[in-house]
Structure 1
């Protein structure tokens, strides 16, 4: 199943093994992994709660 991350990126959710919410220099990002390899990252968020809500909304697309 593919989910739309943004206007240009679709992610094969069946292959994602890990989703990590990281605090980086410019804010908070969500990173998507296939095994040990990072395959995508999100835009920046103001808070961890906002990032978690975005993940739930994005990964529950049908």
Structure 2
């Protein structure tokens, strides 16, 4: 399964909700770290997709 932007953002949002609902500090911190990691992966996936589109356009114009 390819990790696409929508999937990664959904996981980040889920981790954010988990952090908000956490009763224990260590659970909240873990969820916040997970959220940050998912958002970083989402940003990378978005950048990769944009670069692919740009490359595809360049190749199509050649």
TM-score by length of 1: 0.34
Higher relative contact order (CA 8 A, sep 6+): 2
Instruction: Return the structure number with greater helix share.
Output: 2
TM-score by length of 2: 0.34
Instruction: Return the structure number with greater strand share.
Output: 1
